[in-house]
A and B are shown apart, each in its own frame.
Chain A
Amino acid sequence: MRYGFLIDQRACIGCHACTVACKSEHDVPLGVNRTWVKYIEKGEFPNSRRHFLVERCNHCANAPCVEICPTGALFKREDGIVDFDKSRCIGCKSCMQACPYDAIYIDPDTHTAAKCNFCAHRIDQGLQPACVLVCPEEAIIFGDLDNPTTRISQLIGRESVSVRRPEQGTEPKLFYLGADETALMPEALPQPLGAMWNEPPAATTAAPPANASWMAHTDHAQVAYNVRHEQPWGWHVSAYLLTKSLAAGLFLALALLLTARIPLAEPLALGAVVAGLFFLGLTTLLLVIDLKRPERFLYIVFKPQWRSWLTLGAFALMAYGALLALWGLIELIAPAPPLAFTWLVALFAVLTAVYTAFLFGQAEGRDLWQEPLLPASLLAQAFIAGALTLAAVAALTGQPAALVRALALTGLVALLVHGGLIGLALISPASTANAAWGERELTRGSLASRFWGIGVALGIALPVLLLAVALAGSGAFVALAPIAALAALIGLVGYEDAFVRAGQAAPLS
């Protein structure tokens, strides 16, 4: 038993009956939709035509939302329906990032994730989904894909059908018959400035510049109707990336110094640990307040879904926090914890720094985040944050020059790695149109000033210059290191903010 939908766009007249029947069946609040009908227009008068596309959950065989969900609130039933249990949902919105189809929303009443669940309550009672029975054109066909005698199986066997974003490997079970290619590809068209009978989808990002070569293939096409989709993640997440870099990076810088046997005063080490713990706490706090159901944050611990990097990350953060505290305790009562233990803690610091890359990797809807070198980039950022912060403190508190130099050198190297990775990402071609949209948004769109001005110029170029000057002996560390650290930290949060938002810029529907 494997349920799927087939939308016959040859018969669909774009009447929105499915949209409203679904709202009624599930009492879906205003502002969000489980299914909707996108309109695009294509072609030059009088050869122009409007094309409709019924959009909703694809009930993927390989559902990224189920994979990323930290508490198992989203799950796949034995009959192939991807369903959800709002009583388990913590509102982390990662499923919204994982879904390449814009199918999931946060219900404003329950503050939990929701989407088309194939009317599982009706299916279990032996009734058709609400959208199927309302459709005037019988254009929504559903049934068991495993059973070769069902209408859906026969149509799929006989006709040429398409699915959306097959490259994501999700194995969608929402098939389209006769759908327009451009309608299937949300990235093919700019976000509209207006629409034929509603306010245009929220302009959370400006349209990318109307670049002639990019527009050429659109054949006078435009989006005529679509629904709104908010960007799930904002400053909480950008800030969390910085506090996490600090939490991990402070200890990593410390561990590096210890490994290199560069002597350092105990208060500095203890201070780094305390600060690390503080930033770890802040990181957790940011994560919790970003939840739509923050009071449920412990569900991650008590109802963990182990394939989710949100779950794994949470445990990594907890383990790192415990180890870091233990390391600090040992340092406090019996100076100099064994190096092997330091390395163990450092290992968890690395995990803390880089796990977000794997979480972003699970966000199948955001191709910009699918950067293979992202773990390295996050590690570099942790070193920048940790080493330069320590360098600044060390310089200001008059620590030995060798120590300050070592930290500054570490920071400099990390900055160069970070910059190099950004450069590498920019020169390598975007893997998908979705990623390309994000990259355009980052480098030429509304986020360009944040990216270039704060992330690159202030966050990399300036500290590199200052540190180089200081290391070359042409300037005082006490003056330059704090400025470099401050610039780098502001740069990191600016860069991450731009990166997080750019990843979500491309329309998914």
Chain B
Amino acid sequence: MADLEELYRQVILDHYRAPRHRGTLSGDHIHAEGLNPSCGDEFFLDLQIEDGVVTDIAINGQGCSISQASGSMMTEAILGKGVDEVRQVSGTFKVMMGIEEGDDPIDHERPGSVLGDLEALQGVRKFPVRIKCADLAWTTLDDALTQGE
């Protein structure tokens, strides 16, 4: 089952079972919630932005391995980056997943060089009904960034 192995790569299961930056933030921060009513997946995001830079991040919620791993990987991909760069990462991710149009942004000669662990989520593209799972964290991020404008 090559497709399944591709979908559930070790790195995805690792982020699912040991999510990074799980918790909540105290103090001044943006809070956004992503819900997928058809399947019940929940993703909660706390984001601290100081001088246009993501200085702290915390995630919470529950759902399938794809939605939760995507969120965990997202935290690593955007922490410490400027908001403009965060938007760029988000756009690259969405193109990689086929959610937005564009040329394949991934350098397949050098795996991980463009989006890091997130590149492991490419396998989801073969399972169209699961793409919305991978996207949940990122639509929540969009919401948070809009709030922060």
Chain A partners chain B:
no
Contacts from A to B (Cβ < 8 Å): none
CB within 8 Å of A: which residues of B? none
